[in-house]
Chain A
Amino acid sequence: MSEHPGPAPSDNPFLMAAVAKPREFSGGTVSIPTPSITEAISIVDSFLRPSTLPAGTVVAIVGEYGTGKSHLVGAVLHHALSVPEERRPRVAFLEARPATFVDLYKQLIGTELRRDDVCARVRELYADVLADALGESELTAEIAVRLRRGEVDPVEVSDRLNLMGSKYLARLRQRLEVVTRNRAFGIVLPLLLRHDFADAAWEWLSGHYPDPVLVDRGVDTPIATEELALEAMGVIALLYSTRGKKFVLAIDEMNKVVSATRKPSENAVDAFEKLIKVFAGAQALLVLAGLPDYLDELGGTVQQRIGRTILISPLNPENAIEYIRQSQEAIGRGRVLHPFTEDTVRYLVKLTDGNARRIIRLCSHLYRHAMDLSPRDPARALVTEAMVRKVAREQAGARSTDHVRNEIRQVLAALGLSYERDHWMDPQTDSRADYWVPYGDEDGAGCALVLIDAVLTQGDCDALVSRATFLQTSAEQRQVLLVVVGLLNADFVSELGEAFSEEPISYDHWTFTETLSSVLERQLRTLDRDDTLVLGEERFRRLGRQQANTQRMLEQALKTLTAMRSSSERSLGQIQRELTELSTADRAAHPGTESPPLRLPPPVMVLFTRAQSFLDGLDQVDATLRTMFAAASGDSANAIDARVAVRGQLRSPHLFSAVGVGAMLRTLLVTFRDSINEWYRSYVPSSSGDPYPADKDRLSALCLAYDTVYEYVPFYRLEDLDGFSPQLLDGNVLLPPQVGEAQEVFNLLSGQVQAAVLESVAESR
């Protein structure tokens, strides 16, 4: 026996991407017979069973992201194609991108079913027409047999024997009209068999405007509306399910065509209902897969007509164990569970809530991690629960909380909400909101958003519960929301739901902004309500929550305060050290030097100047104080008025925060400008005149740095400076500050600067 080297321990049996592609499903694909898969396969078997009665049906597969919908579609299609050839259906698979039914139809006709394919189908029907005519005569009976078997081409037979071709093409047209129940297709499809007309016919079938020769024949509308596209898909199903043949059409990611944000028109829903009827009444199977909301949006009537709805079941520990064994077997390692244990797999399933994609991804990371820890002795590699937690946390971090923060910022901006980053309700407690959205009339009212990478242990959960409680302690009108970027142990969902205003929002790339937006709107509406009864209920609920957590809070508070003190001291020490180092380094590097002269080109400089002038328009503290001092050296009555006016403004407790924000923005602007100036000084043009990629990256990093700091600046606070103006001292009328406009300038600054810099460099070539 020859010795083949077995798989190396570094061969990871688990795919990092864990994204199923139905087209790539094969006999070698690892697939676990979950209840969903078993049910779907039995439907396919029933559909493919020989029958003269219409066996058509529609199956809807629904499930959340990563639950295995595409895998199931792949399994269905593969199963349908695995039956013996005489029973094998024609299978078409469409992958819905963010698209319309028209795009789907164009994918079906042209990409999935090519011209030759459709022509061949029409040719088969023409062969039947001709065979019917020739089969009645002994002179031509044998030709008819060959036509039916597909051994001879009907068009060639007709030409070679000088048959009355136009008569039989007219019969074909009638037959196609009956088969497709569509006059236009009845006219166009036979033209595919006529050399001179085939291009025009195919163009129309592919969704283009009809050629004049088709318009002459009464086909004057392109397949360009949702209704026509759906009708056309039904026609294709009928065309492919005649002559004892069967047709399977699967559409994955239906939610990219129909969802809460892509609502179908009433006409499209009606047309979809007709499409379902067509499939049900033919030898055709329609498989629809997607997130649950596509079904919701298609409405009750469509849902009733769908033959079977398969809700994807989460993987249970036994499924996951079997998956791991099969995956290892698939790369030649045998049906082993190692380096996993049954207990770690159970823990894994619990953490991921049985989500297939998350399980597979984690398995991939865990496998690599375990092997990396025992490079010399892979047999001793072991995945432990602690390792699962560690890897899960790392993966949550890797998912980039920056990206999530960016999405949160987008949602808040879209809702027109002002916010503060890292806002402490009470500096003495663990009451930090990652995002604080002030809202409503009551002092301290608003919505706090807490962002956490993962919730895996009871300790994680306890910390969040006490944080929620602290966040809600000092105000009646306050909602608290939790966003979990990574894994959330299903055991803690309920507890966290009680502690926070709602159940935690698990971050999902596809749905997060939509979900957060609707949750925020709902919670802010609660704060808006003037209804005493509703408010009373809300307060009662809040009290209940607080009481339920009081005991835990007290325990946690003590721990947290201690930890905070220690942490703060550490942080302070760290900051002091870093400041000292920076100051020392700066002095050492530039002894006695001034800032380098500005060498920004005018288009870039003007952006900074504009931002500066907007800021000057809002923050006139300097000018006001100078005016006050100027007045002090003149007429005493004016001097008194000026002092009184300034002092009056200083009574507002918000003024100082506003001045701080102004100062921060000035510093940010100047340092950003200087850093860009420095970039100009240091970048090296390549031989083509363009900056080298490294310089471009450096420019992007500078702009990102600006964005990152700017994001934390509560710009809206500058509104509190509206009374602090030299005009006030002159007794003039005050113009309202243009905070919104100024904010827009600062919002766009980095992007505009980056573009202007690159443009200026290009122009200087």
Chain B
Amino acid sequence: MNPYLVPLGGDGPGPLRPHDDPTHEDFYVPVDHTLAAFEQFKASIGDAAKIRAKGRLVVALGWDGCGKSSLLNRCATHLKSVLRQDDGQCLVFSFTDACRDSDSVEERQKAVCQCLIDELDDRDMLTSKHRKKLDGYAPKLKYRYLGNHVLGDTAVVILLPRIELEQEVESYAHWTHRNLVFLAESRQVEAVRAHWPKIKSASTEQGTVPIQLEVGKLEPDDGWAFVQARNGHRTDGVVYPFVSKETIRAVIAAKEFSIGELHNLLFRLFEEILAERTNSGPIGSGLTDEVTYNTITDFYFRRGTT
């Protein structure tokens, strides 16, 4: 099996979701500042009482493939454990696919809010009176009403769809309320950074401080750490082609890489190698050839141009 097929059982590389599957927690690798960011989150989020009282907005920033989704999923899992420490309830909802990038901000916000109401309704947490009230409200009032009158001692963690516009991030800062934690991610690093004072000010009005987490490109040793971690998870006993530390360092040094890009590259490369092996002989027959820098360069060129 391809050692880079993580999470397991999927079609290919994708974000880790430990709140859905606790085994994913083992696959986190401390690369591109993700561990530091997670530690920063844990340090900043505070205790359950504080979260329940005021809610929170957490924003992960980074370019495509830098691990924002995996980071926020890990944060959600952490929140779940923190919020259950005081015997209260915690629900984690992922609405990352509730809408499209190309929907208007208003449509996107309505979709997320409606998803939350539907989820709560499915759990019989809404009465007809609640539904009637909620019908007439704008999102801000809906969130406020849910936090005050519906959720009780249940905190809700919402993983928002990827956000492109800084104003949309700011609106969630305005809507942060007791029992509501919004986890937002955006690839528009510079725009959200520039807008951060307004986001912060909006959160402050709600009595909280937003948390900004940043993930970035791979550092020189990150690639090797990632390869080692994936090799360590192998349980199939198959001898895979050897990739040296020097090769990976050389690849990472050659150009700017995100973890997603490297992960994808190695996954596709091994898919190709494994397919060739399947055609030429059974896997696990003591193959010891090496994936060199040239192998990767050639593959990269072919992948990019054909």
Contact = CB atoms under 8 A, between A and B. Distances in A.
Closest 7 CB pairs of A and B: A196-B102, A212-B104, A137-B255, A164-B63, A139-B254, A166-B187, A162-B264
A138 B100 CA distance: 37
Given A160-B303, A161-B261, A161-B265, A166 B104 contact: no
Interface string B58-76: 0000011110000000000
A157 interface: yes
Contacts of A659: none
B304 A164 contact: no
B258 A139 contact: no
Nearest to B258: A164
Contacts of A215: 104
Contacts of A143: 300-301, 304-305
Given A142-B301, A161-B304, A164-B64, A197 B102 contact: yes
Nearest to B108: A216
Interface in A282-337: none
Contact of A166 (B64, B254, B256): B64
Nearest to A200: B102
A213 interface: yes
Given A138-B254, A166-B64, A167-B63, A161 B303 contact: yes
A162 B260 contact: yes
A140 B300 contact: yes
Contacts of A136: 255
Given A138-B254, A216-B104, A216-B105, A164 B261 contact: yes
Contacts of B258: 162, 164
Give the interface centre of A137, A157, A160, A167 by most chain B CB atoms within 10 Å. Answer: A167
Interface in B140-196: 165, 167, 187-188, 190
Interface in A117-147: 133-134, 136-140, 142-143, 146
B106 interface: yes
B297 interface: yes
A163 B264 CA distance: 10
B103 interface: yes
Contacts of A166: 63-64, 187-188
B64 A167 contact: yes
Interface string B255-299: 110101100110000000000000000000000000000001100
Nearest to A151: B305
B304 A152 contact: yes
A162 B104 CA distance: 26
Contacts of A197: 101-102
A170 interface: yes
Given A161-B264, A215-B104, 12 more contacts: A139-B297, A143-B304, A163-B261, A164-B63, A164-B256, A167-B187, A170-B188, A194-B101, A194-B102, A197-B102, A212-B104, A216-B165
A217 interface: yes
Interface in B88-125: 100-107
B190 to A, nearest CB: 7
A165 interface: yes
Contacts of B167: 216
Interface in A621-636: none
Contact of A163 (B64, B101, B297): B64
Contacts of B300: 139-140, 143, 161
B184 to A, nearest CB: 15
B280 to A, nearest CB: 26
Contacts of A211: 104
B251 interface: yes
A184 B258 CA distance: 30
A213 B64 contact: no
Interface of A: 133-134, 136-140, 142-143, 146, 151-152, 157, 160-167, 170, 194, 196-197, 200, 211-213, 215-217
Contacts of B296: 139
A627 to B, nearest CB: 82
A87 B103 CA distance: 42
Nearest to B305: A152
Nearest to A139: B254
B202 to A, nearest CB: 18
Nearest to A156: B304
Contacts of A137: 254-255
Contacts of A134: 255
B100 A164 contact: no
12 contacts: A137-B254, A139-B254, A139-B255, A140-B304, A143-B305, A152-B305, A157-B305, A164-B258, A166-B64, A170-B190, A196-B102, A213-B102
Contacts of B254: 137-140
Contacts of A152: 304-305
Nearest to A167: B63
Nearest to B264: A162
A162 B304 contact: no
Nearest to A211: B104
A196 B100 contact: yes
A99 to B, nearest CB: 33
A170 B190 CA distance: 10
A196 B261 contact: no
Contacts of A200: 102
A197 B100 CA distance: 10
A215 B303 CA distance: 37
A123 to B, nearest CB: 16
Contacts of A139: 251, 254-255, 296-297, 300
Given A140-B300, A140-B304, A167-B63, A213 B103 contact: yes
B100 A162 contact: no
A215 B104 CA distance: 9
Nearest to A164: B63
A146 B66 CA distance: 27
A140 B101 contact: no
Contact of A140 (B63, B100, B106, B255): B255
A157 B261 CA distance: 12
A190 B304 CA distance: 21
B278 to A, nearest CB: 23
B160 to A, nearest CB: 16
A21 B265 CA distance: 56
A162 B65 contact: yes
Contacts of A133: 256
Contacts of A164: 63-66, 256, 258, 261
B110 to A, nearest CB: 12
B188 A196 contact: no
A694 to B, nearest CB: 60
Give the interface centre of B101, B105, B255 by most chain A CB atoms within 10 Å. Answer: B255
B102 A162 contact: no
A196 B101 contact: yes
Nearest to A142: B301
Contacts of A213: 102-104
A165 B187 CA distance: 10
Contacts of B264: 161-162
Contacts of B261: 161-164
Contacts of B102: 194, 196-197, 200, 213
Contacts of B303: 160-161
Contacts of B100: 196
Contacts of B105: 212, 216
B64 A165 contact: yes
A217 B264 CA distance: 31
A684 B127 CA distance: 77
Nearest to B186: A166
B165 A217 contact: yes
Contacts of A196: 100-102
A151 B301 CA distance: 13
A291 B190 CA distance: 52
A165 B264 CA distance: 14
Contacts of B187: 166-167
A162 B255 contact: no
A160 B261 CA distance: 10
Interface in B230-271: 251, 254-256, 258, 260-261, 264-265
Contacts of A212: 104-107
